[in-house]
């Protein structure tokens, strides 16, 4: 399993598109990404739109229902969340959900997972939020249940947060479903990734990326794992315009807190920046979103053509 070039769809508010045509617009992006050479399409696991992208009342589709529908709208592209909030689902149920997605998609599912962080969603929808430390305790217990279930092994745990008693998981299509962790925590997230994950999507300011890659490799070495067996990718906010006028317009819409994670320019200009600052930092693959204009037909293809040369295997 590898995510060399992922396309994330985090925005479901499309000017002029009524709700009855909303999923059609999402599916069109996924099909265009597949045809253009992206290997993975990803959606966020949220219930409200995130600060920096929009307002909480804007459209947000439930992740796994959306991925299940995209499984029928596509044929080859991998399907994942970036990433599932562990606090929103019982871990055995999550293992069952992603395994069903794998069967429905004929072997294209990836489990993306993280500790969860958006407090307002928890408060409004009634999910327990807890402390930072508690959320990582829960994530570790969840992975202890999920990892064997994704391999077809019965899972048992009498934990502080979760319980499983020989939990089975059938039907399954593949010997194992890949696990991707998302985040940037060096003490907790990276250690869990070294233990449980096939892939780590690092989310941080680009200037800190090379150091994060080094720490992640150390976490693997500490437990005797070859760092080369843990693939990496980086999430990019793509502010990509078709011409300089649109680039100037997009520049004004970059959230202040995302300026060190956003890449601005034409597709070719952004590809040059990513080659230097992301691939050059030791990252294997790039996942990009186009939050302002990805729904515009043709732009996903333009971006893929610019990025494919810099993420060659």
Average pLDDT over residues 55-82: 98
Q: How confident is the model at residue 22 (pLDDT cuts 50, 70, 90)?
A: very high
d(CA 300, CA 259): 22
What's the whole-number mean pLDDT along residues 7-18?
97
Query: Are β-strands 163-167 and 155-158 bridged in parallel, bridged antiparallel, or unpaired?
Result: antiparallel
Per-residue model confidence (pLDDT) at position 1: 63
pLDDT score of 86: 98
Q: Calculate the average pLDDT of the chain.
A: 97
Query: Average pLDDT, stretch 198-207?
Result: 96
Partners of residue 237 on adjacent β-strands: 262, 289
DSSP-assigned letters across all residues of 4-23: SEEEEE-----TT--GGGHH
* Cα 24 to Cα 7, 20, 135, distances in angstroms: 17, 8, 35
Whether pLDDT at 313 is above 80: no
Q: What number does CATH give the domain 5-311? A: 3.20.20.30
Please tell me the predicted confidence (pLDDT) of residue 312: 80
Summarised one tens digit per residue, pLDDT across range 211-268 is 999 999 999 999 999 999 999 999 999 999 999 999 999 999 888 878 888 999 999 9
> Above pLDDT 90, what percent of the chain?
95
The mean per-residue pLDDT over the stretch 262-277 comes to 97
For position 258, what pLDDT does the model report?
Answer: 81
- Residue 26 binned pLDDT confidence (cut-offs 50, 70, 90): very high
CA distance 250 to 243: 11
Reference 300, options 23, 19, 80, 9; nearest CA is 9
Q: What DSSP letter does each residue of the chain carry, written as one string? A: ---SEEEEE-----TT--GGGHHHHHHHHHHHHHHHT-SEEEE---SSPPTTT--TTS----HHHHHHHHHHH-SSSEEEES-EEGGGS-HHHHHHHHHHHHHHTTS-B-EEEE----HHHHHHHT-----HHHHHHHHHHHHHHHHHHHTT--EEEE-SS-EEEEE-----SSS---EEEEE--TTTHHHHHHHH-SEEEE-S-GGGHHHHHHHHHHHHHHTT--GGGSEEEEEEEEEE-SSHHHHHHHHTTS-GGGTTTEEEE-HHHHHHHHHHHTGGGT--EEEEE-TTTTTSTTHHHHHHHHHGGGG--
pLDDT at 103 over 70: yes
Q: Where are the domains of the chain?
A: 5-311
């Amino acid at each position: 399993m590898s995510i060399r070039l992922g396309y994330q769809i985090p925005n479901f508010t499309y000017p002029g598109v009524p709700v009855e045509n909303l999923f059609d617009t999402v599916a069109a992006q996924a099909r265009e990404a597949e045809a253009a050479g992206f290997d993975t399409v990803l959606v966020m696991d949220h219930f409200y739109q995130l600060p920096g992208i929009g307002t909480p009342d804007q459209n947000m589709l439930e992740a796994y229902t959306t991925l299940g529908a995209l499984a029928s709208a596509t044929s080859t592209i991998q399907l994942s969340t970036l990433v599932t909030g562990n606090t929103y689902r019982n871990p055995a149920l999550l293992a069952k959900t992603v395994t069903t997605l794998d069967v429905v998609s004929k072997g294209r599912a990836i489990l993306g997972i993280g500790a969860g962080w958006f407090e307002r969603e928890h408060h409004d929808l009634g999910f327990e939020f807890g402390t930072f430390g508690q959320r990582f305790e829960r994530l570790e217990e969840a992975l202890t249940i999920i990892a064997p279930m994704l391999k077809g092994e019965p899972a048992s745990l009498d934990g502080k947060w979760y319980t499983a008693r020989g939990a089975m998981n059938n039907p399954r299509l593949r010997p194992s479903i890949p696990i991707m962790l998302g985040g940037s925590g060096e003490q907790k997230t990276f250690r869990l990734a070294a233990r449980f994950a096939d892939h780590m999507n690092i989310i941080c300011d680009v200037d800190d990326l090379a150091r994060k890659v080094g720490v992640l490799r150390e976490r693997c070495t500490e437990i005797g794992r070859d760092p080369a067996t843990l693939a990496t990718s980086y999430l990019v906010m793509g502010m990509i315009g078709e011409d300089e006028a649109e680039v100037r317009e997009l520049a004004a819409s970059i959230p202040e807190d995302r300026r060190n994670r956003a890449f601005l320019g034409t597709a070719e200009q952004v590809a040059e920046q990513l080659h230097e600052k992301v691939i050059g930092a030791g990252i294997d693959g790039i996942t990009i979103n186009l939050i302002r204009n990805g729904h515009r037909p043709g732009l996903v293809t333009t971006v893929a053509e610019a990025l494919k040369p810099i993420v060659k295997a």
